């Protein structure tokens, strides 16, 4: 079974209540999914951990215990803004270089062109998600199931 990483953007003022009572995160996400979802959601699938390792521009989130998730992290709006700014500064060339370095560390082989294209597309979606959340001054959750 693969582990899925789901990013959720949610109103910044609602994050505080969820951090006070983390068990409410599960109900919050379920309730809002039935009503059309939180402000935004991005499914990074099983790639979430590799993306977080390769993108140091995403500030460290706050670990949230007490949810049904295997892992859960939260980013208040100010960290979302900082992360979005850092991500927007990465060039396509830098993304490709990071992919090459990561792949070489994994198995010593350079990534193939399809893997590079997929990586760049996923990063574009991730950067767009963080930038939109920052523009709305949202908080972000990474919910790993």
pLDDT in tens, the chain (145 residues): 468 898 999 888 888 888 888 888 888 887 765 555 556 888 888 888 888 888 888 888 999 998 888 999 999 999 999 999 999 998 888 887 887 787 777 777 777 778 778 878 888 899 999 999 999 999 999 999 8
Locate the domains of the chain by residue range.
5-144
pLDDT of the residue at 133: 93
- What span, in angstroms and rounded, lies between the C-alpha atoms of 118 and 122? 6
Alpha carbon distances (Å) from 38 to 1, 14, 41, 83, 139: 26, 11, 7, 20, 11
Kind of pairing between the strands at 5-10 and 40-45: antiparallel
Q: Each residue of 107-124: b (16+ CB within 10 Å) or e? A: eeeebeeeebeebeebbe
Q: May I ask the CATH architecture of the domain 5-144?
A: 3-Layer(aba) Sandwich (3.40)
């Amino acid at each position: 079974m693969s582990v899925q990483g789901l990013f959720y953007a949610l109103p910044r003022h609602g994050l505080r209540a969820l951090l006070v009572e983390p068990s409410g995160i599960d109900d919050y996400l379920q309730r809002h999914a039935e009503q059309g979802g939180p402000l935004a959601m991005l499914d990074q699938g099983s790639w979430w951990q590799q993306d977080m390792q390769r993108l140091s521009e995403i500030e460290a989130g706050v670990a949230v215990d007490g949810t049904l998730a295997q892992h859960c992290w939260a980013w208040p709006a100010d960290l979302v803004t900082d992360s979005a700014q850092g991500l927007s500064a990465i060039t396509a060339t830098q993304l490709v270089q990071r992919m090459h370095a990561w792949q070489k560390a994994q198995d010593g082989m350079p990534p193939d062109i399809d893997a590079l294209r997929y990586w760049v597309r996923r990063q574009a979606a991730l950067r767009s998600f963080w930038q939109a959340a920052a523009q709305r001054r949202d908080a972000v959750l990474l919910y790993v199931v």
